[in-house]
Amino acid sequence: MSEDIDITKLETPELLELIQDDLYDGLADEVVASVNELLARDMTPYDLLNNGLVAGMEIVGNDFRDGILFVPEVLMAAKSMKAGMRILRPLLIETGAPQTGTLVIGTVKGDIHDIGKNLVAMMMEGAGFTVINLGINTDVDAFLEAIGEHKPDIVGMSAMLTTTMPYMAVVIEALEEQGLRDQLLVLVGGAPLNDAFAEEIRADAYCRDAAVGVETAKKLMAIKRGQPN
């Protein structure tokens, strides 16, 4: 629908809103065109990220949480967001824009399910986080190696199986042994998990779905950095 719109004639606030609508509708080419147009108008990559892509993905995330959108729509929105991010990421680095945070995420050892975990990774990227996705069947060494290399703020672990979720405790114990636990937020998720389990294994939080994961990450990051939410 937005292909009928001449974006050069839109005011900047309208164009930011259009980006949000196009993200919602999963229109990657349109998102890219609007991002380029706003960059040409000298909007900073940081403002464009937050007021365009992040704001748009937040709406997508809320509607996913509320059962208005489902996985197909979220995946199309995330693909569009990634298309916009491909342009913005190098510019964000170049301009030294403030970092939202870094997430290392993986499905734990023995578990090969990655649809939900990938959704979380995409939504976290959509919220402005730098995401290192370790994939499926991630053992404690792979987590530790990635943590050493990328110095994340958050470690995310996913499990779909009741038989693999206890492995999350193994990873957390290793973080404790290495003296890394206190400087990291550990978020866990997956179909068979719940709050009590997260508490039992000393994770910081259980996140029911990708949208809750983003909300929780933002909230805990603000607390960690001593900022009012």
Partner 1 sequence: MPTIQALLNRGDYIVTDGAMGTVLFASGLEQGDPPELWNINYPDRVAAVHQAYLEAGAQVLLTNTFGGNRYRLALHNAQDRVEQANQTAAVILRKAVDQSKKEVIVAGDMGPSGEVLTPYGELAFQDAKDGFAEQAAALIAGGVDLIWIETMSDLEEVRAAVEGTREISDEIPIVTTMTFDTHGRTMMGVTPEQAFETLISFNVAALGGNCGNGPEEIIEVITKMTSLDQDTPLVAKANAGIPELVQGKAVYRASPATMADYAVKSYQAGARIIGACCGSTPEHITAISGALAKLT
Q: Which of 72, 96, 98, 228 binds partner 1 (CB under 8 A)?
A: 72
Q: Which amino acid is at 118?
A: N
Q: Which is nearer to partner 1, 49 or 134 (CB)?
A: 134
Question: Which is closer to partner 1, CB of 136 or CB of 142?
Answer: 136
Query: Which residue lies nearer to partner 1 by CB, 92 or 187?
Result: 187
Residue among 17 and 73 whose Cβ is closer to partner 1: 73
Closest to partner 1 by CB, 43 or 203? 203
Residue 136, interface with partner 1 (CB under 8 A)? yes
Using CB under 8 A, count the residues that bind partner 1. Answer: 30
In this structure, are residues 22 and 32 in contact, taking their beta carbons and an 8 Å threshold?
no
Residue number with CB closer to partner 1 (108 or 155): 108
Among 75, 87, 142, 180, the residue binding partner 1 under the rule CB under 8 A is 75
The interface with partner 1 within residues 105-124 (CB under 8 A) comprises: 109-113, 115
- The per-residue DSSP string of the chain comes to -GGGS-GGGS-HHHHHHHHHHHHHTT-HHHHHHHHHHHHHTT--HHHHIIIIIIHHHHHHHHHHHTTSS-HHHHHHHHHHHHHHHHHHHHHHHHTTPPP--EEEEEEBTT----HHHHHHHHHHHHTT-EEEE--SSB-HHHHHHHHHHH--SEEEEE--STTTTTHHHHHHHHHHHTT-GGG-EEEEE-TT--HHHHHHTT-SEE-SSHHHHHHHHHHHHHHHTT---
Contact flag: residue 142 with partner 1 (CB under 8 A): no
Our finding on whether 28 is near partner 1 (CB under 8 A) is no
Binding residues among 144-203 for partner 1 as defined by CB under 8 A:
161-167, 169, 191-192, 194, 196-197, 200
Considering only residues 80 through 109, tell me which ones interact with partner 1, judged by CB under 8 A: 109
How open is the CA angle 122-140-120, to the nearest 5 degrees? 15
Query: Residues interacting with partner 1, by CB under 8 A?
Result: 67, 69-73, 75-76, 109-113, 115, 136-137, 161-167, 169, 191-192, 194, 196-197, 200
